[in-house]
Amino acid sequence: MMKLQKIFVVVFLLATITTYAQLKIDAEIRPRFEYRHGFKTLFPDDADPAAFVSQRTRLNAAYVMEKLDIYLSMQDVRVWGDVPQLNSADRNGFSVHEAWARIALDTSWALKLGRQEIIYDDSRIFGNVEWAQQARSHDAALVQYQKDRFKMNFGFAFNQDGEALTGTTLNTNTYKAFQYAWLHKDWDRVSGSLLLLNNGLQYIDDMNSDDNETRYSQTIGTHIRTKGKIGLVANLFYQFGKDMFDNDLSAYLLALEANYKASDRIGLTLGGELISGNDNGTPTNGDNNAFNPFYGTNHKFNGLMDYFYVGNHQNNVGLLDIYAAANFKLNSKSNLRVALHNFSAAADYSEKQFGNEIDLVYSCKIQKFVTLKAGYSHLFESEGMEILKGNTDGNTNNWGWVMVVIKPTLFSSANN
């Protein structure tokens, strides 16, 4: 009798999920081999290239009901061999990439709470950095509004090391707090967004803890996109306020890109991005003119070899990036993208020309849940890059990688 009752309860719960809610469980296994010979910085003499396999493993669960959405994403990120065999514990272990709930307040307003990816527009200021195996997420609260073709988000974050009885000084290497507003409108052939970000960084005075404070900068800007055979994308941002070292900020980012659909199989891109910087690479007289893209997916913009704004080049001479790209659809399952960048300093510098980079990325869908991707990049540095990176060895600088992305759906109540 007890066994029948348990079976009845299970059947009832499954029927409830199917009738009143939707449950989806999916996974991701993403191993990637990389060969690095001048990735992020110029390759030095008397050094061996790096080669390794990293892997991201995720298990995701999305539960959707009438006025409540819940999403959980657990992940493990490792390099093959970083833990000895028969080791009693992993080096990193599982972590929570996302864990949020979205509460519908009415047909237009909602509240989203918890750890979550924040992605807006082309990910220039807020993105999830999908290329990085660990990716980026935020512990934040979002107030969301959507009606017809208008969207509005208000975001809030406040970070601490942990629970405490006194003090609010943050020692973790992350931002202290932010508040932002994002407004987006779609028209028939044009879409536009406005972003206002108040970003707080923790300053710690090692000599006098009473001087510890949060220093705020403000970023305001717009993202505009047009649709059609020739599409235009523009990013215009201005930054002011204070940096973490109490310098006065006055910086900007200007970007314009044109996309042309030459045929069903060929797409062409031509663009340029100007990111302001400091003369000779350092703030002077209490003024900082270097723009910081903060939480954007910077890997996708200024060359795939990550010489700029991916853990480097902040508060430096800025960047002028002129680029062209072509995307070739080889067949129904594969495509090839080729991009060429020319880099130079945006501010005054002894040698403004940094050089050129070529990026090739091939993608092929092997089966429904499996995609193969591979890439090769080569940097042709100029004297300015050698001065910037402090390396005049003159070695070849290239980078290659192969990645398999496996993303199956394990269960979906919508299909039952």
- pLDDT (tens digit per residue) in 26-37: 999 999 999 999
pLDDT at 12: 45
pLDDT at 98: 98
> What would the pLDDT profile of 265-315 be if each residue is shown by its tens digit?
999 999 999 999 999 999 999 999 999 999 999 999 999 999 999 999 999
Residue range 366-371: mean pLDDT, rounded: 97
Q: What does pLDDT average to over the chain?
A: 93
Q: What are phi and psi of 256, to 5 degrees?
A: -140, 130
Count CB neighbours of 44 within 10 A.
12
Q: Would you state the pLDDT for residue 84?
A: 87
How far is 36 from 49, CA to CA, in rounded Å?
6
- Nearest CA to 357 out of 338, 329, 332, 337 is that of 338
User: Among residues 112, 125, 219, which one has the least CA distance to residue 155?
Assistant: 112
Please count the other Cβ atoms lying within 10 Å of the Cβ belonging to residue 132.
14
3-state helix vs strand vs coil in the chain, percent to 5: 10, 55, 35
Please report which confidence band the pLDDT of residue 144 belongs to, taking 50, 70 and 90 as the band edges.
Answer: very high
Contact 299, 306 (CB under 8 A): yes
The residue whose two tokens read 């081999």 is 33
Query: pLDDT band for position 20 (50/70/90)?
Result: low
Does residue 258 have a pLDDT over 80? Answer: yes
Predicted confidence at residue 349, as pLDDT, reads 96
- Residue in the block written with tokens 């398999």: 404
pLDDT, greater one: 86 or 353: 353
d(CA 403, CA 58): 16
Is residue 371 over pLDDT 90?
Answer: yes
Task: With a cut of 60, say whether residue 109 has pLDDT above it.
Answer: yes
* Helix/strand number for the chain, H first, E second: 2, 20
The amino acid at residue 23 is L
For the segment 76-103, what is each residue's pLDDT rounded down to a tens digit?
999 999 988 888 777 777 899 999 999 9
pLDDT at 16: 52
SS3 sequence, 100-129? EEEEECCCCEEEEEEEECCCCCCCCCECCC
The matching CATH number, chosen from 2.40.160.100, 2.40.110.10, 3.30.70.890, 1.10.3720.10, for 2-415 is 2.40.160.100
Q: Determine the pLDDT at residue 79.
A: 95
C-alpha distances (whole Å) from 274 to each of 192, 271, 336, 400 are: 20, 10, 27, 27
- The pLDDT score that the predictor gives to residue 205 is 87
Q: Please compute the mean of the pLDDT values over residues 136-160 and round it to a whole number.
A: 97
Residue 415 has pLDDT above 90, yes or no: no
Residue 21: pLDDT band (50, 70, 90) is confident
Question: For residue 169, what pLDDT is reported?
Answer: 92
pLDDT recorded at residue 78: 95
* b/e sequence 78-92, b meaning 16+ C-beta within 10 Å: beeeeeeeeeeeeee
Is it the case that residue 3 has pLDDT exceeding 50?
A: no
Does position 145 have pLDDT exceeding 90, yes or no?
yes
- Hey, which residues does 215 pair with through a beta bridge? 201
pLDDT band, residue 219 (cuts 50/70/90): very high
**Percent residues over pLDDT 70 in the chain:** 95
